[in-house]
Structure 1
Amino acid sequence: MSESKFNPRTIILLLIIIFVSIIRVAAPFSGDFKVIANFSAVGAIALFGGAYFNNNIKAFAFPLLILLLSDLFIAKTSGFGFFYGGWYWTYIAFILMVFVSKVMMNKVTVLSFITTSVAAVLVHWIISDISAMYIPGLYAPTLAGYWTCLVAAIPFELKFLYGTFAYGAIMFGAFEMLKAKYPNLSLTHSRVA
């Protein structure tokens, strides 16, 4: 009977996610919160979870849990409400972003990271902006209203893309450097992550 060795892969992945999440949670304390609100780490967290967690429960649950906890904290500390009309469309968008990452990032490279980031942010843009249709008086609940919403959201989605690139570079870069130094963190050595 072979002896099972402890593999810290899941713990390292979670520590990287938690570290980046702290930055997101600290954002409302910035004097320029509205300016930096969409320069967020949550897109990178969704991609990171999809790329590195082999277990689907962990891949989807950890990024969604971080999104939920940070949304609740931000709502509590900033005065912005959490349960706004159509809020669940944002969560559906993040589920799809994790899925996009699982499908597109079979091997983590700079090119796969960039293309997956762009694809995931496009999914976020198209799906999460449906929620604006549920806020009375914001946009007409028509196809033309949805199109107007999508166009108005472009500056916010660009900030979201830049945040996904920046935080993703930190997260993916840190884990890839750790994998290079400690090969037992790779999936070939671990079936538990």
Structure 2
Amino acid sequence: MERKSTAKTVVLLLFITCVIGLRLIAPLSSDFALFANFSGIGAVAIFSGAYFKNRFAGYLLPMLVLLLSDLSLGIIMGSSYAFYKGWYFTYIALALMVGVGQLMIKKVTVSNVFVASLAAVFVHWIVSDFGVWIGFDTYPNTLAGFWACLVAAIPFELRFLYGTLVYSGLMFTAFEALKVKFPSLTYKTSAV
């Protein structure tokens, strides 16, 4: 039984590692601005929330992945790129996104993954841009200022939504296909 649990954990980690690897490669592109928010981190959060039965691992892994990728991006692009004022709100948003995956994806279906992706990106938009709003002097500290911050973030959040939908589709479809081929991955009482 331990072997089945380990196999599932390894497969989940491989999926997450592949998606996050793409986040680290994006800054090397000459068209980085186009890919900056087309990220798989939202999909990783939802995926972890849906599949990890160990809630601690479900939250810890996406946070660790975001931290490591931020550190890497900080080295590649400069420290202010990864750890700007209010950066911790992005981590709070990610934790809430894992919660969305846990609450909304009890059974993996196209509609459940789609709606969870929309909800998770909405949470990310509100929470992470709250950090931008209070962390910088760009917008006044009024409700209108927060609204202006949210409106300015729409192009970035749309790319984040597209990335979350694409990567969620790939990750969930591939893992469900693997579960059919390798029934040991469906072991219900695993440690992950």
TM range (shorter): over 0.9
Normalised by the size of structure 1, how large is the TM-score?
0.94
Percent identity of equivalent pairs: 50
Mapped to 1, the partners of 2:126 and 2:187 lie a distance apart of: 33
Match of 1:191 in 2: 190
Q: Which runs of 5+ in 2 are unaligned?
A: none
Q: Which amino acid aligns with 1:64?
A: M
Runs of 4+ residues over 2 Å off in structure 1? 134-137
Mapped to 2, the partners of 1:26 and 1:129 lie a distance apart of: 25
Match of 2:45 in 1: 46
Match of 2:67 in 1: 68
Mapped to 2, the partners of 1:34 and 1:57 lie a distance apart of: 34
Aligned-CA RMSD value: 1.2
Q: CA deviation at 1:136?
A: 3.4
Match of 2:11 in 1: 12
Check the 8 A contact 2:104/2:116 in 1, yes or no.
yes
Normalised by the size of structure 2, how large is the TM-score?
0.94
Match of 2:148 in 1: 148
Q: CA deviation at 1:166?
A: 0.8
Judged with a 3 Å threshold, the aligned counterparts in structure 2 of structure 1 residues 5 and 42 are, in CA distance, closer, same or farther, namely: closer
Match of 1:111 in 2: 111
Match of 2:29 in 1: 30
For residues 54-75 of structure 1, what are the alpha-carbon distances to aligned partners after superposition, in whole Å with 9 as ceiling and x for unaligned? 0001100111111111111111
Match of 1:85 in 2: 85
Secondary structure of the residue aligned to 2:169 is helix
Mapped to 2, the partners of 1:69 and 1:134 lie a distance apart of: 25
